[in-house]
Structure formats: structure tokens, C-alpha cells
Chain A
């Protein structure tokens, strides 16, 4: 195998010739399929599954292309290419999604082969972004950087990418299959709302092992993933997942799309019976074929390269001085910057949620700016978070002020990571063919209402998540405050839920009361926040207060006028 040496880009997996040839073949295959569709050799019915396998959907205004960002990690070169595609083939912007992907909304079918060809030039593609396959594996946006990290999840996410992409058994599953991996105690990847959630950890001897949660999912019937095995040794990682997928492939329902996800199987069989089936399958197939040898893990880890960190100390003087002299910068650091595992470095969140803005949208110019900043300050590498923000993961603390100044000057310095303005919203009825109601205008109205950064910081951690229909692409079920768009006799209404939690203590929110109009929803959010602030004890987050006082006071206040 003739693979390229790890580039100067930190922590980005370097493709080898096999990967490249495979992607190139898929592009040519799709080019021929598009030609056959346009010439009439293929009917729409025949063509639709083929285009979906290449991430191409038909939406309200045009085709939508969903581009995979494996485990959310990009090089600056890749981001520049996305910016270029946005300008050349779309309308100068893209939408980063909760699955750490990028969607373009105005794509022409006839341009798609050329776009995929250009993407392949930078080792990108739209594979496994649609269809009943194992989808793009997601992980912590701070992977390989966070101080609290125990295991680097990228390595295992990449192992899964390689193992699932060509796996014939897993190309036609009963339904789509989403896996998320987390390697630190703080769950930033919402693993228990995925079909399989993997929690990577170490035992006393320092060996890597995995806890498996299976059967989580949102959509029409939300479920929290059930614990299936607390410790799967590293060498059995692939075997165990293979066992889970086989049980699913064998028993999963193909007759009813609403019952086809693994969550329904786990629910119907029960946690115990499902676990037993998996364990039996695992015992059968465990052996040399499925053993994940340490050499493979090491090789993949090596292919990620590694940033050449310098020996520095935390809180250098210039950084402290900049914070002292500039309260806005200090606020941004307090809210958007996370401790790094290497002293003297930090991970910075670039909010794509300006007050009144469209969550997750970035213009081609902004993408280019971020690419430049990634080159200047973060080893040419960046990440997409499931909260629809961007992250520069390895910034020297003494360069944070320069970074912030550039971001701030371009509308990218909003200090709201994890706060009430950091709203997750799906495209909703403004773009999506399946929507019941719009999501984006509501997100804009709420973030505008809570625009004041000091007020946001005073409110503290509070995630609002909005979906335009029950498919729950906006994760509303696990929003501390969730909002679901519904259609009532042709009018847009919104159902509010409270108490959702996407972290390891996963909880699905409860419906607060009858659905209300968009305007009423914004007022309801304000009312909920006021009730929280007037009831909160020291150090309580919104969900803590809610748990303590119950829904009563919130419900009373929101529906007082009704």
C-alpha cells in the first residue's frame, strides 16, 4: 500500500490509494447513472435510491447535497473546497448539520457529478449520508484535544468507517444506522440517542474498552439507548458491533418503515433478550477474522498524524492581560473556549449562531476565513460540532486574542456556545420537503430576543432545539427546551417540551401543554426562563431546577394567558 505521509495538517486521517480509487469509481458510476437518468434510460423510481446513496435529495427549491464530514473533522483545504463549491454550484453558502455534515440547498442534478469529482480531489464525498446503511459516524467535536479526554474516539470512528463502507451485509439494512462515539466523561456526542452509542474508556491497567448502548433514537418514537455491555475489550470492538448489526439484520423489521429502526427491535425484544442475542452472536463470531489487532489500531492512529505541540504553560501573561483589558474577549473565552489536554493550548468554538442568524449557515467567505484561521492558529484542521458550530481545536492560548479579533470582525465571535442563543434547528419548512412548519424563523426570533450576551451568560447552560417535523432532525426531544413544528389545519404551530437531556444522563423531554403559535412560542420561552431564574438555587442549571420544582410552575406561567 502506497499511502501518503501524514501531512502537516494535524489529526486528519490521510487517505490511501485504495480509499481514493474507491471514491473516484463511485463518482464515475454516479456520473453514468445521472446520464442514464437524463436520457430516460432510468426512471425516477429506479434512480432515486441511486441518488440518495450519493447524498442527493430533492427538496422544496432544488436538489440538496449532503456531504459527509467523517466524525466532523476537516482540513482547511477541504473547507476551502466546500466554500468554492458553494460559490460555484450553489448560492454562496452551506448549512452545517447536527450530524456534523454539510448540506448545500440549491444544487442542480446535472452539476452533481462535477461537484462529487471536485470533492474527491480533497478526499471528500457524500457516501453514507443517506439510505439504509451505516451512516457517517459522529463523535465529540473536541476529540483529540479536550483535557477531559480518556480515549481518542477518532481512531475507532475511522475503523468503523473503513469497516462499514464496503461491507456488503450492511449496505441494505432494514433502516439507516447511526453510530456515535465518545471518549470522555462529558458526553458531547449525544451517544444514547444513536442506534449504537459507544462510550470509550480505560480500565485500571490503562487498556481501552467500550461500553455499548443500543437502540437509542429520536423521530416519531424516541428511545434512550439501553446498556448492552459495559466493557468490550478493544480487540473485540469490531466483533461486538458486527454481532449487534447481525442481530439487527436478522430480526429488524423490513415490513414497516416506522418500526424498522433498531430502537424498535430493542424495545420489542427487551433489553435482556436483545443483549442475550447479541452475546450469542458475538460468541459465535469472535475469532481471528474479527479481532481488532493492536497493530491496526496503531497504524490508524499513526495515519491521523499528530499536531507538533510546543512546550508551553497555561494562562500565559499576554493572554491574561488581553482578558483583563477586554471584557468582551474575556466573555468569549469563558463561554466558547475549552481546556486543552496540552498546557498552553485551548479549543475554541466558532459560533454559527449570531443573534437573529440562521443556525449552522456559513457563507463561502466565512468558510474561507475560518480555513485561513485554522491555518494560522490550529494546524490547518477544524471540526464541525453536532450543535452546528465550528471548532478550532488546537489554538495556542497566546493566540486566542488574535483569533477572536478576526472572528469578531466577521460576525463569527458570538459568545454563546452551550447557551440559550446556541440553538440547534433543522432546515424546516423553508427548505425541507417533509416539514410541517418552519424552524429557522423561530430560532432567529428566540436568539434575537436573548441577544444580550450578559443575559445569556447569566441564564447559563440551556439548550433549545427545534425540529420542523417529528423526524426530529433538530434533536428537539433532547433539548432542555425542545420545540416541534406541527401543522394544525394548515397553520404552523409549535409544541414545547422541557427536560430533555442529550448527555449520558439522557432524557426525552416532556410536552408542556398544547401547541402554540410562533409568536407565542417566543414569549413562552421567555416565561420559562423567568420561572427558572426566579426559582433557581445556586449553581443549578435549567434542567436541575426543572427537576426539583417540576413542570407545574412553568406550565402555569406559559399557559396563564390562555
Chain B
């Protein structure tokens, strides 16, 4: 994932992710007050402000873990470039899409 110079100037946002307990599926925190989860980064809540992200993360983590819904809940950085949500780290990009060596598999396949 080569980030072009333009994208470096885009604001860094945050999203919250986890793995669903029962099947391990990568999930993202959905927008809205009820702290629900979605399977696609495109549908995830984005946070411009790190402090807000931290607060929501704590609440989402407590709820998701308390309800045995998700494990490994954490926040990560991304940018929106040309309308595309692109995680800063390759690791998160691969989680959001699927293995780069099997583009027929994972979330990228259903796109």
C-alpha cells in the first residue's frame, strides 16, 4: 500500500475494530449510540478526535466483551483518500480487505 504524497496530507482519523468471538470475523464499530458492529470498514464509525475515539472505545470494549460478542477491541488510524477509507498500517488494510495473496477471499471478495 504505497501512500502517495497527497494522502499524507489527509487528516488521520480513527475507527474501532475487533474480532467477533463466535467466528473470528473482523468487525468495526458502527456509528450511533447503541455501539453495534458492522463487517465492512465502509460502514464503520469514524472519529476525527482521538479523545472521543478513546472514550467510545472504552464503552464499546466494555459492552462487546461483556456480552461475549467481540474480542481484541482496539482503535486504529486511517485516512480518507479520494473517497476511499485507507488504514494507515498495512496490517489493518489486510484485516479490512483480506489476504493480498488471495484476493478471491475475505471481505475484498464480496465487494
Contacts and interface: CB of A to CB of B under 8 A. Distances in A.
Nearest to A357: B101
Contacts of A39: 68
B24 A430 contact: no
B19 A431 contact: no
A442 to B, nearest CB: 10
Interface string B2-45: 00000000000000000101111110000000000000000000
B22 A38 contact: yes
Interface string B98-111: 11111001100000
Given A109-B23, A430-B99, A430-B101, A58 B72 contact: yes
A91 B94 contact: no
Interface in A227-267: none
Interface residues of A, number: 30
A109 B24 contact: yes
A438 B100 contact: yes
Given A37-B68, A40-B68, A490-B88, A358 B101 contact: yes
Nearest to A439: B101
Contacts of A438: 90, 100-101
Given A438-B100, A490-B88, A109 B22 contact: yes
Contacts of B90: 429, 437-438, 490, 492
A63 interface: yes
A40 B106 CA distance: 28
A522 to B, nearest CB: 15
A58 B19 contact: yes
A87 to B, nearest CB: 14
Interface residues of B, number: 25
Contacts of A440: 99, 101
Interface in B59-111: 65, 67-68, 71-72, 88-91, 94-95, 98-102, 105-106
Contacts of B72: 58
B71 A58 contact: yes
Interface in A86-114: 91, 106-111
A107 B101 contact: no
Interface in A38-60: 38-40, 44, 58-60
Contact of A431 (B23, B26, B67, B99): B99
A18 interface: no
B101 A58 contact: no
B39 to A, nearest CB: 12
A382 B74 CA distance: 43
Nearest to B101: A440
B94 A429 contact: yes
Given A37-B21, A37-B68, A438-B101, 6 more contacts: A58-B19, A62-B19, A108-B22, A110-B22, A429-B90, A437-B90
10 contacts: A38-B22, A40-B67, A58-B24, A61-B24, A61-B26, A61-B95, A108-B23, A429-B94, A430-B100, A444-B101
Give 6 nearest A-B pairs by CB, closest first.
A62-B24, A108-B23, A430-B99, A63-B24, A40-B68, A440-B101
